[in-house]
């Protein structure tokens, strides 16, 4: 009887202690509402330009962790590249990407945060987006988004939830961008 309790106690500790592992974020999946919004807006084709990190934040925006374990981007280990790829995929799905276009969208990742608490998980992201056409800036604004989900004290539950929910904050950020009338106007001739 006593050995059974010890085994159960060890099993519970293992479940609670499932932390400090490296994990990779899922590849970005375009949000259909975002793609449809872009497709229906009557926009000109664009090329996706350079994305960078805000100077001085390169490490903090690209190195996220979940319960002490490393959380990496599947795009060269860079969340700057993750944001660029997310934008590119949604524009591509809306049939708006053209490498020869004179209109270009670029960006700077300003803030990128992920927290896995015992009751809730949160993610927050902020980026500055620019649209240039023929070398002239037609749009330059900073957008931000946040997302919250139910977490758990148990690492085996909390960690996968954080891994799966991070992409949602990126989808929300891009939704903020696509609902900005100035952004849409900048992508029209």
* Domains in the chain: boundaries: 2-186
Amino acid 164: pLDDT:
80
* Mean pLDDT (whole number) for 167-182: 96
Q: Determine the Cα–Cα distance for residues 124 and 129; give it in Å rounded to an integer.
A: 16
CATH class of 2-186: alpha beta
Q: Three-state SS for 40?
A: helix
* Mean pLDDT (whole number) for 135-153: 89
Residue 13 has pLDDT above 50, yes or no: no
Residue 160 has pLDDT above 90, yes or no: no
């Amino acid at each position: 009887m006593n050995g059974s309790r010890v085994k159960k106690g060890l099993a519970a500790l293992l479940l609670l202690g499932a932390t400090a592992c490296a994990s990779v974020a899922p590849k970005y999946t375009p949000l259909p509402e975002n793609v449809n919004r872009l497709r229906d807006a009557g926009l000109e084709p664009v090329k996706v330009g350079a994305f960078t990190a805000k100077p001085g934040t390169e490490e903090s925006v690209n190195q996220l962790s979940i319960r002490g374990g490393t959380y990496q981007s599947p795009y060269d280990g860079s969340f700057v590249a993750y944001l660029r790829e997310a934008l590119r995929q949604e524009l591509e799905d809306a049939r708006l990407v053209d490498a020869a276009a004179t209109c270009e969208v670029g960006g700077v990742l300003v803030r990128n945060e992920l927290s896995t608490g015992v009751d809730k998980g949160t993610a927050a992201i902020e980026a500055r987006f620019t649209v240039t056409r023929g070398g002239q800036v037609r749009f330059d604004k900073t957008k931000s988004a946040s997302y919250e989900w139910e977490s758990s004290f148990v690492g085996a539950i909390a960690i996968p939830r954080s891994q799966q929910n991070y992409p949602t904050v990126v989808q929300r950020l891009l939704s903020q961008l696509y609902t900005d009338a100035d952004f849409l106007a900048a992508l029209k001739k």
